Structure 1
Amino acid sequence: MTDPIAAEAETPQGWRKSSHSNSEGGSCLEVLDGLPGVPVRDSKLPGGSTLLFGTAVWSSFISALKGTEFRDLPTPHP
Structure 2
Amino acid sequence: KNYREKSVDVAGYDELAAFDDDIEQEGSPTFLGDKRIEGSVWPKSIRGSTPKVRGTCQIERAASESPHFMRFHVA
Structure 2-normalised TM-score? 0.21
Structure 1-normalised TM-score? 0.20
Kindly indicate whether structure 1 or structure 2 has the higher relative contact order, using CA contacts under 8 Å at least 6 residues apart: 2
Structure that is richer in strand per residue: 1
Structure that is richer in helix per residue: 2
